[in-house]
Structure 1
Amino acid sequence: MTGKTKYTQSSQQQKRIQFFLASFLLLPFLLVCIVESLLKLFIPKKRKSVTGEIVLITGAGHGIGRQTAYEFAKLKCKLVLWDINKHGLEETATECKRLGAKAHTFVVDCSNREDIYSSAKKVKAEVGDVSILVNNAGVVYTSDLFATQDPQIEKTFEVNILAHFWTTKAFLPEMMKNNHGHIVTVASAAGHTGVPFLLAYCSSKFAAVGFHRALTSELEALGKTGIKTSCLCPVFVNTGFTKNPSTRIWPVLETDKVVRSLIDGILTDKKMIFVPSYINISLTIERFLPERAVAAINHVQDIHFEAVIGHKIKMK
């Protein structure tokens, strides 16, 4: 045995010892964190004030985006509303103004990176620095892999995840300069578990959840503790994007219920917002179950919605 081999083995042994020692010392801290987390379940969380903050919401012309705009209007925020649908955008802005908030509208195609960047420059020049960014715009195509057209797959990722990168790159620098802000990722429970005939959508929402977690870790590593992050993960929401959804276990949610949970999560700096909240328990248990058990649960759930099935179509 050479001296170099002995040195390598000794070095590896030292690393193992250091690892076990660090783990042993970390254990009491982990127990304290667990107890603290359990106690917080029974203590009302302090809600922060967002009065006067500039809030930008993508996909504000419909559904969750529109209702989120209404709630922030009630909190006396200055609103920047983005959507590709001009008519829907104007309707949202009219109601926000009726609620006493200032609302600025921008027709933006969130599948287009250059449109996002150019619109962001206009926002900074005409309104000011965004301090709360709600990445909500999304698209969904209910079909199996073969019936989902290639451009539809591309658009799903452009809107549901790539847009998050472009908007965050556009508005995060000022938040970092001030060490103040909040970035909200609207994902889905489908970003934690697969759903048949929503392959592109699920994949994009898994990416959105990953974006949120990685961004959260990156901001912490950079010491930007004043910038908060939240990720919204609801089950089916009655927004009209998915036709006639139903399940035996989970409810089909109304938009106002989802948005109430979202706003509460933002104001209390909650990182992961599940709606309903107990779905988190189900997803956690699912990770430890055998595949056959998970398949049985999925069968019992009996998730249904209108979808195009094209697996028998001859591919060109």
Structure 2
Amino acid sequence: LIKQSTKRMKFLLDLLLLLPLLIVCCLESFVKLFIPKRRKSVAGEIVLITGAGHGIGRLTAYEFAKLKGKLVLWDINKHGLEETAAKCKGLGAKVYTFVVDCSNREDIYSSAKKVKAEIGDVSILVNNAGVVYTSDLFATQDAQIEKTFEVNVLAHFWTTKAFISAMMKNNHGHIVTVASAGGHVSVPFLLAYCSSKFAAVGFHKALTDELAALQITGVKTTCLCPNFINTGFIKNPSTSKSIYFRGQCLNLSILNKKTLTGV
């Protein structure tokens, strides 16, 4: 009986300690609901977006262009890059384009050097470039697996290493990692892609923790993990037939709103 009484008392004490915390959390949520946090201005910020020639990268560039950011657009597809740049210029943004192969570390480093010399220090980096091959493990070529990791993961290391030093020095910047729901839930016939996106999510988490450990409070991080998107990859007949996926594709406009909110 004494033991039961002691347990009950401990439970009541724990509950009493928890109640104030719950009240504070509820009040904080209530305040945020009616008084949302003021969005920071990105006007004049140098925003670098990889994979800007189509899809998520292209529409993200459009949104930053509307906010008067100074855009640095990277893509391996020159034609797609020029189309994105033309629209961004029409929205009033200053735009610089670089044809960059994000599977090539030296190309990334040399292009980053040009950006810093000709334009300035990047303060918002959107690691968006990605590739996807849809086939089973044995049908996926070794070179395709390597390229998936080079673009979807390793490129994040190289771009971040190239630009984060200035952000840390100024205690100001933002790193955006475009991952995928496939970085949390695996999908058959997307083995290489999902594995690379799990790694991208891990990169984001580890980078966030490292910045916190270094007490770099002004450099923020955001990780996007959307469902499959209505881009050229998913619309391609050979891709869509191969994907063992029955969910609804996410609209790009919804994702871009989330991206800008996160930044």
Does the alignment reach a TM-score above 0.5? yes
Letter in 1 for 2:38: K
After superposition, residues 40-79 of structure 1 pair within 5 angstroms as 42-43=33-34, 44-79=36-71
Letter in 1 for 2:190: L
Letter in 2 for 1:260: K
Question: How far apart, CA to CA, are the structure 2 residues paired with 1:224 and 1:30?
Answer: 31
> Given the alignment, which residue of 245, 248, 254 partners 2:251?
254
SS of the residue 1:42 aligns to: helix
Q: 1:103 to 1:38 in 2, by over 3 A?
A: same
Question: How far apart, CA to CA, are the structure 2 residues paired with 1:40 and 1:200?
Answer: 43
- Is the Cα–Cα contact under 8 Å of residues 57 and 69 in structure 1 kept in the other structure? yes
2:220 aligned with 1:223: no
Q: Name the TM-score, length of structure 2 as normaliser.
A: 0.86
Kindly state the Cα deviation for residue 29 of structure 1 after the two structures are TM-superposed: 11
Kindly state the Cα deviation for residue 263 of structure 1 after the two structures are TM-superposed: 1.1
Which residue is 1:10 aligned to?
none
Letter in 2 for 1:124: K
After superposition, residues 1-316 of structure 1 pair within 5 angstroms as 31=21, 34-35=25-26, 38-39=29-30, 42-43=33-34, 44-242=36-234, 243-244=239-240, 248=246, 250-266=247-263
In structure 1, runs of 5+ residues without a counterpart are: 1-23, 267-316
SS of the residue 2:225 aligns to: strand
Kindly state the Cα deviation for residue 255 of structure 1 after the two structures are TM-superposed: 1.7
Q: 1:219 to 1:84 in 2, by over 3 A?
A: same
Kindly state the Cα deviation for residue 36 of structure 1 after the two structures are TM-superposed: 6.3
- Is the Cα–Cα contact under 8 Å of residues 238 and 255 in structure 1 kept in the other structure? yes
Question: How far apart, CA to CA, are the structure 2 residues paired with 1:61 and 1:39?
Answer: 41
Aligned length: 240
Q: 1:231 to 1:30 in 2, by over 3 A?
A: farther
Which residue is 1:270 aligned to?
none
SS of the residue 1:231 aligns to: strand
Kindly state the Cα deviation for residue 41 of structure 1 after the two structures are TM-superposed: 5.8
Letter in 1 for 2:262: G
- Is the Cα–Cα contact under 8 Å of residues 187 and 231 in structure 1 kept in the other structure? yes
Kindly state the Cα deviation for residue 75 of structure 1 after the two structures are TM-superposed: 0.2
Question: How far apart, CA to CA, are the structure 2 residues paired with 1:68 and 1:40?
Answer: 29
**Deviation per CA, 1:147-187, whole angstroms, max 9, x where unpaired?**
11000000000000000000000000000000000000000
Q: Percent identity?
A: 73
Question: How far apart, CA to CA, are the structure 1 residues paired with 2:18 and 2:251?
Answer: 43
SS of the residue 1:152 aligns to: helix
SS of the residue 2:230 aligns to: coil
Q: 1:30 to 1:197 in 2, by over 3 A?
A: farther
Kindly state the Cα deviation for residue 253 of structure 1 after the two structures are TM-superposed: 1.5
Kindly state the Cα deviation for residue 42 of structure 1 after the two structures are TM-superposed: 2.2
Kindly state the Cα deviation for residue 38 of structure 1 after the two structures are TM-superposed: 4.0
- Is the Cα–Cα contact under 8 Å of residues 52 and 61 in structure 2 kept in the other structure? yes
Question: How far apart, CA to CA, are the structure 2 residues paired with 1:235 and 1:152?
Answer: 22
**Deviation per CA, 1:5-49, whole angstroms, max 9, x where unpaired?**
xxxxxxxxxxxxxxxxxxx9xx86994685466446624232111
What is the root-mean-square deviation in Å for CA atoms of aligned residues?
2.0
Which stretch has the larger CA shift, 187-196 or 237-246? 237-246
- Is the Cα–Cα contact under 8 Å of residues 246 and 252 in structure 1 kept in the other structure? no
**Deviation per CA, 1:256-304, whole angstroms, max 9, x where unpaired?**
22112211221xxxxxxxxxxxxxxxxxxxxxxxxxxxxxxxxxxxxxx
- Is the Cα–Cα contact under 8 Å of residues 65 and 137 in structure 1 kept in the other structure? yes
Question: How far apart, CA to CA, are the structure 2 residues paired with 1:64 and 1:30?
Answer: 43
Q: Name the TM-score, length of structure 1 as normaliser.
A: 0.72
SS of the residue 1:258 aligns to: helix
